[in-house]
Structures are given as C-alpha cells and as structure tokens.
Amino acid sequence: LNDPKKNLQPKKMFEIKPEYFDAYEAVAAGVFKEKGVKLTYEIKENMKDIVEQKVLITDSSSWYVPELELEVEAGTAHFVPIKKLIDQVRENTKRYCGEFELEKDFEAIAEGKKAFTFIIEDPLGNAFILTDENDKSNKLTIEHQKRTPQQENEYGIQSKYNAKTGKEGEKALLEFIKKSNKIVLLTGAGCSTESNIPSYRGNIKEFPESIWTTFDPTICTIDNIVNSSDIRSKYWELETHFMAYRDKAKPNDAHHFVRYLQESNKLLKLVTQNIDDLYDDAGILSENQIKIHGTMSSVSCLTCKEKVKGGIHECLRRYKEKGDVRCETCKGIVKPDTIAFGQALKADDLAEAFDSLDKADLFIVMGTSLAVAPINKMANNALRANIPMVLINYGEHTYSHVADVFLNGKAGELSQRMLSLLKPF
C-alpha cells in the first residue's frame, strides 16, 4: 500500500489486521471505529485502471453496484480488486442461473468499459477503497454513520459480555430448549475429551499434551501425505495413536444430550467437527448429522476412490505388518475419509450445514472454540439471522460475549446437568 510509485490512499501504512476479516473477532479485539462508514465511489473515467484497485470489504460490510442491480449482503470478507468482485458474482450467477439479462453489463464494468458506482457500507467502520489521491475525475464520498441499536446488538458492541451465564444461563437454555422444535448443534473436540479422546489443541487439563503437541500438524497436509513416504509413515503413526484412544471410548453425556434432543423431536441437525463417530455409538441417526470433517472409520483410495474393506483397523494392521498401506485394486495411496489440511470440505455437506440455519429456532455450539473456518461462520450467520445462540465450552472465546447464553465448563458435565433438569419436561 505504500508503493512510492503510486499515490494511493491512505498515505500512512494501513495494517490489515486479521480481525478486519471477521466482525466478531474485530469487536472482541476492539478493532472497530466509533461510527460506521459508507463509501460511495463514482467511477466515470479511467475505468480500466480503477477496477484493478483493491478494496477491503470486511465481514461486516455490504456492497452495491446500482447499475447492475447488485446488492451483496455482509458475511464474506475480501481484500481484492473491484474487478475480481464483479467477476466472482457474474460467474456464480451464471453457474446457478445460466444466461442472465445483465451479464453483458457485468462484463463491461469488470473490463473497465462502462461507468459505474461502487458502494460499501460497514457498520464497524473498517472497510476502505484504495484510491489515487491525484484522481480528480472520479469521486469518493465518505460518510460516517452512527450504528443503529440493532447493529450494536448484532455485533455485541453495546456490552462486552451480554451472554447469560451460570445458573441464569442454565435457566435460559432450558427455556430455549422447551420452546424450540428445530435445534441445530455445532460440536467439536471438547465433546469427546470426556470420553478419553485427546483434543487437538490441548486446552483441557486432562490432556495437556494434545494431538498437535505430540505430532507435527504438517504430517496431516494432503500434499505431504501424497508426496512423502516418510511423512505418510508418521501420518499412520498418528492414526494408530488416535485409534488406541478411540477403540476404548464410549459416548458421554455430551453425546447423550444430543440423543435426548433427537428423541424429543427437537433436533433439526447435528453438525459435528469430530471424526470419531461417537455420535453413531450414541444412537444419532445418520440423516440427523453432518460429519463436516469426515470420519475415521472408513478409508478410501485417493486414486480410484474404492473403499478399503475392513476400514481403519485393516489399514492399521497392514501398516504394522508392511510399513505402508496401498489400495489392493490400483496400488494407489489410501487415507481415512477425514478432511486433511489442504483438502476442501464436501460442498454438499457445507451447504447443508449452513442451510440448516434457515429453519433453525435455536443454535447450540458445544465443545468448540469456533477457531476452524469455514464452519465457524455458522455462528456469524446465526447472529445475523437473530437465531438464539448458546455456547457451551471450556473457556471463553471470540463469540462468548455475543451469544445469548454462555456456559463455561466441560461439555459432558454441563450436558449431564442439563439432562437432569430436562427429564421432567
């Protein structure tokens, strides 16, 4: 941004902090302005150069191009040229709708052949448009806007800690559950630690040595698994280590709590980041859950996609005997059906997870610090849709202050408490 060859605003170095890309992280870190901002950029000349200029659209920003009848709601952050934003919308529209009426206008604006107006509104005041200070032909108007009470509430600005906690929080959760019939849950590793399965990040006292303090996370990147036999061997050592815990594990009350919601016909969807299948053991029906990060139990060939008969245990047996595991059909590399670093989540699973919130009347997040994208953005969507949100987690995190209820503690222990209070209902 400080390129001396380009007189681009702002003159001082603008540090783009990670928080700018997530509204709730920005609020938690105090990275927001006293007022919101509306940026209106009227682009009439030198359009080809202008569309290559970058804009910062934060997670809380909406943006508009009136000439294209285009309105993009808040929820996705970008620091990219204007051209890329226009092209992305055009490509997505064409993919899902086919040919559309304004497609040629989209192309003309993206190619800098047509005048247009680009507008950003950001209630946190962090968005900006990078402009040439010597450009007198195109007008950038900056309006500072007072946030509405609804926006103050949405982003948790009014009070640092709005959530009900302790006994008051438990009472509020019971009332939410009593009134709700379409509950969506998002769960993480904290729901399995009380089944004696170690967490990945080790913030639970019983497991100070987490998976990632015992093993290097880079052995779980898909490129390393595919390209290095040495790293692949370490990967299978990790799986051996994990399954030693999993084979002895049984569901705890964090799993039984979900079963209770299912049997009470209140469970709309369980979205779990866990790969241990303990919810299966607890009796959660497959149609009621989305294993967003996959499952350890089955194993597939990365080349021919054939499933390995006998699953993970057969693969561990072969690894112990031969030091490597290959597909018996095509000799390709096999791995458990989990999502490794560098692998994309299944698009259908991700869409179903987010779509479930459209029907939800309560969103419960349990046993996760919401640190893993993109599934953590379910919390953002729930907040924007004014769906009551309950967090149950061992320790505070980014979203603790914006939830309706925050219960600080172990998922299993708190679930047992909830079950004992819910049974009379």
Task: Tell me which H or E stretch contains 262.
Answer: helix 253-263
**What's the DSSP call for residue 195?**
G
Exposure class string for 146-160: b at 16+ Cβ within 10 A, else e: ebeeebebbbbbeee
User: Residues near 345 by Cβ (< 8 Å), separated by ≥ 6?
Assistant: 292, 293, 339, 374, 375
The CB density around residue 402, as the number of other CB atoms within 10 Å, is: 26
In degrees rounded to 5, what are phi and psi of residue 320? -65, -35
Q: Where are the beta strands (DSSP E) in 257-410?
A: 267-272, 289-291, 294-301, 334-338, 362-366, 389-393, 405-408
In degrees rounded to 5, what are phi and psi of residue 176? -60, -45
The CB density around residue 229, as the number of other CB atoms within 10 Å, is: 10
Angstrom distances, CA of residue 240 to CA of 232, 245, 276, 296: 12, 9, 13, 11
Task: Report how far residue 378's alpha carbon sits from residue 213's, in angstroms, rounded to the nearest whole number.
Answer: 28
Q: Which of 255, 293, 397, 401 is catalytic?
A: 293
Q: Angle, to 10 degrees, between the axis of helix 411-422 and the axis of helix 253-263?
A: 40
For strands 334-338 and 294-301, give the pairing. antiparallel
Task: Report how far residue 200's alpha carbon sits from residue 196's, in angstroms, rounded to the nearest whole number.
Answer: 13
Query: Cβ distance 24 to 365 under 8 Å?
Result: no
Task: Report how far residue 128's alpha carbon sits from residue 140's, in angstroms, rounded to the nearest whole number.
Answer: 11
Task: Please say whether the dihedral angle defined by the alpha carbons of residues 273, 278, 280 and 283, taken in this order, is positive or negative.
Answer: negative
Closest by Cα among 336, 334, 302, 341 to 216:
341
Structure tokens at 32: 């927001």
Structure tokens at 298: 């089955």
Does the active-site annotation cover 293?
Answer: yes
Q: Which residues are marked as active site?
A: 293
